């Protein structure tokens, strides 16, 4: 008789059952529904404080490059924020939106900030629209690029 492979939830329960001390406390800080995924628990337990520190530094110096699309920039900011503030899910969406808008290129920042989008998706949509309008205006020589 061959044993069936363990599900991710069973693996997570097995891992949690064998933890003690600080590692156990770290797992218990997370909501019970979030503890059911083995991969996320294992990565959370093995990530180092240095990764968070480096991500925070990268986030503070993160700027949209002149030829970088707004969607690519949004993904870059999102990944940095996820790494920098793991374990703080309640504020993560606000932090991503704030960092995304604050570090946009100057020609787009004003238009997005003026609109005051409530979510990252709304901000990305607004930036895409502004980006497209700037491309069209440049193509029609209504404005010149710096």
Domain with CATH 1.10.1200 in the chain: 49-139
Rounded Cα distance, 63 and 107, in Å = 13
Provide the percentage of residues in the chain whose pLDDT is more than 70: 74
Q: How far is CA 124 from the centre of its chain?
A: 13
Tokens of 146: 């710096």
pLDDT digits (tens, 9 = 90+) for 7-35: 878 877 787 787 777 667 767 766 676 66
Burial of 136 by CB count in 10 Å (0-12 exposed, 13-18 middle, 19+ buried)? exposed
The class that CATH gives domain 49-139 is mainly alpha
Q: Do residues 134 and 143 lie in contact, with contact meaning Cβ atoms separated by under 8 Å?
A: yes
Task: Give pTM, 2 decimals.
Answer: 0.54
Question: What pLDDT, on a 0 to 100 scale, did the predictor assign at position 134?
Answer: 85
The chain-wide mean pLDDT, for the chain, equals: 77
């Amino acid at each position: 008789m061959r044993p069936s492979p363990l599900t991710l939830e069973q693996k997570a329960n097995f891992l949690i059952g064998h933890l003690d001390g600080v590692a156990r406390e770290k797992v218990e800080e997370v909501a019970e529904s979030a503890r059911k995924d083995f991969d996320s628990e294992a990565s959370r337990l093995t990530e180092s404080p240095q990764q968070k520190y480096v991500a925070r530094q990268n986030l503070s110096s993160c700027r949209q490059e002149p030829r970088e699309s707004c969607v690519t920039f949004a993904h870059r900011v999102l990944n940095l924020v996820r790494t920098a503030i793991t374990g703080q899910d309640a504020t993560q969406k606000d932090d991503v939106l704030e960092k995304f808008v604050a570090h946009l290129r100057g020609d787009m920042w004003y238009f997005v900030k003026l609109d005051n989008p409530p979510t990252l998706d709304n901000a990305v949509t607004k930036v895409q629209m502004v980006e497209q309008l700037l491309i069209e205006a440049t193509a029609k020589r209504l404005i010149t690029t710096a």
